Structure 1
Amino acid sequence: MAEYPMRINKYLALKNICSRREADGLIEAGKIKINNKRAVLGDKVQENDVVKVAQNCQKKLFYYAYNKPMGIITHSPQGEKEKSIMDIVKIPQKVYPIGRLDKDSWGLIILTNDGRITDKVLNPEKKHEKEYAVRVNKVMSASFVDKMARGVRLDDGYKTKECKVQTINEGMFSIILTEGKKRQIRRMCSALGYNVVDLKRVRIMSIKIKSLKPGEFREIKGDELKNFLLELGLS
């Protein structure tokens, strides 16, 4: 999460609105307002401040639902053999992924150039839902499903929050989380004596993966986009 307060030019750069140098130019030109007051160079932004950019300075925003294939990472590659989403995706606009999905998992990632939504989607205090379909290595007991839903003590001592878990078949379940600890579902299953053999994210808030195959993407638009932005308090 971003640390506040922060300088206005850094804020605009982190929100992917423009570079810091470009931000300074917009500020000097009177194109930026903080809480409806004209910003000046050196101003600092608090987390709950409302920052507005003049309409004629705003870039066109794009939003895509992408089915990340297994074996692809969401962050910057650490070695020559690793491939990230940005290495393989063929979207014409410059966009970036919101959040992460580990290398061994696949499924929904939102790609966008709208820097406003990163903190809002990932902020655990907002309790936004993310839904996964998970297959494990053996028949699930009723006790396993119940404990997953009630919360599991992980290897670092943290106990996960209560969540919604529904059995799909004897070796597969769906789970809806409102938090996002690193490799959380895999660690929850491992703590209960199960191994995950397939993990797919199928939904982030109101955005669903639908029929996208691995490597495919579709633009989020119309009512789907409107509802998503409303969930985030944006328009």
Structure 2
Amino acid sequence: MRINKLFSNYGICSRTDVNRLVEENRIMVNGKQCIPGQWVEIEDNILLDNKNIIANDKIYIALNKPVGITCTAEKSVKSNIIDFMDYPGYIFPVGRLDKNSKGLILMTNDGELANNILESKNEHEKEYIVTVNKPFNDSFIKVMSKGVEICGVVTRPCKVIRVSDDTFIIILTQGLNKQIRRMSKALGYTVTSLERTRIINIKLSEIDVGTWRYLTDMEIKQLKNS
């Protein structure tokens, strides 16, 4: 695998940060200076600042993201999720939840698990509760469920359950950019509130807005087996 992926899988730093370390000549592979994007094997002798690299303990966190926080590890972005959490160690968000939405986001340093969760073909469920700007009829639910054309593609069939005249629960197995907002807009509605309440087996319940908790051993096991 590339050196960037190895460092991410080991929970050392992001793939982007590896490029900076390489440029600063801080990584050695088998006694030679590492080059950008170098392919490595687990058995290779890899040094960071003249010390052997080791896999960090894995971190798994469920955060209830408030509105106004951007799900990016890019520190130059105002109100980014890393600065918001101020966690004393390397973690990153698994996927995104747009700035104007709130709810569940997973944070980890486990690149391998993150890739598995985000892989579209795995069809992992993500559940949301959504309020729109006006009442909708049963046809709206039917069309949303079957798939809506957005950005030149038809969304994957999903589950939509009415909660009230203007609120519904939607369970997706894909994660297109601002998918629910764009699906709703395509049918003539504007989302006024969007909250993610579940990712696979992890639920938002009992996590106050702006706070987080570590996942339990059982939750982690179920995630890895999903």
Distance between the aligned counterparts of 2:4 and 2:217, measured in 1? 31
Instruction: State the shift of 1:213 in Å.
Output: 1.7
Distance between the aligned counterparts of 1:153 and 1:101, measured in 2? 21
Is residue 120–residue 173 contact of structure 2 (8 Å, CA) maintained in 1? yes
Q: Pick from 17, 20, 24: which aligns with 2:29?
A: 24
Distance between the aligned counterparts of 1:70 and 1:78, measured in 2? 19
Is residue 10–residue 55 contact of structure 2 (8 Å, CA) maintained in 1? no
Query: Structure 1 residue runs of 4+, over 2 Å off?
Result: 13-26, 38-41, 76-79, 90-94
Q: Pick from 82, 97, 104: which aligns with 2:100?
A: 104
Query: Are 2:5 and 1:11 equivalent residues in the alignment?
Result: yes
Distance between the aligned counterparts of 1:23 and 1:209, measured in 2? 42
- 1:223 aligned residue: 218
The 10-residue stretch of structure 1 (88-97 or 135-144) with the greater mean CA deviation from structure 2: 88-97
Distance between the aligned counterparts of 1:103 and 1:206, measured in 2? 23
Distance between the aligned counterparts of 2:90 and 2:182, measured in 1? 34
Is residue 12–residue 23 contact of structure 1 (8 Å, CA) maintained in 2? no
Query: Are 2:126 and 1:130 equivalent residues in the alignment?
Result: yes
Q: Pick from 81, 84, 91: which aligns with 1:88?
A: 84
Distance between the aligned counterparts of 1:10 and 1:157, measured in 2? 33
Within a 5 Å distance, the mapping from 1:1-235 to structure 2 comes to 6-7=1-2, 9-18=3-12, 24=29, 33=42, 38=43, 57-75=54-72, 76=74, 82-154=78-150, 156-231=151-226
Distance between the aligned counterparts of 1:89 and 1:223, measured in 2? 24
Is residue 98–residue 111 contact of structure 1 (8 Å, CA) maintained in 2? yes
Distance between the aligned counterparts of 1:202 and 1:11, measured in 2? 30
Letter in 2 for 1:193: G
Instruction: State the shift of 1:14 in Å.
Output: 3.6
Letter in 2 for 1:220: L
Is residue 131–residue 174 contact of structure 1 (8 Å, CA) maintained in 2? yes
Distance between the aligned counterparts of 2:6 and 2:75, measured in 1? 26
Unaligned stretches of 5+ in structure 1?
Answer: 1-5, 27-31, 42-55
Q: Cα RMSD over matched residues?
A: 2.7
Alpha-carbon deviations, 1:115-144, whole Å to 9, x = none? 211211111011111111000111110000
Letter in 2 for 1:59: N
Distance between the aligned counterparts of 2:75 and 2:101, measured in 1? 16
The change in CA–CA distance for 1:137 and 1:123 in structure 2 (over 3 A counts) is same
Distance between the aligned counterparts of 1:193 and 1:78, measured in 2? 35
Letter in 2 for 1:121: I
Distance between the aligned counterparts of 1:22 and 1:206, measured in 2? 38
- 2:37 aligned residue: none
Letter in 2 for 1:97: P
Instruction: State the shift of 1:23 in Å.
Output: 7.5
Is residue 10–residue 54 contact of structure 2 (8 Å, CA) maintained in 1? no
Distance between the aligned counterparts of 2:30 and 2:203, measured in 1? 39
Secondary structure of the corresponding residue to residue 162 of structure 1: coil
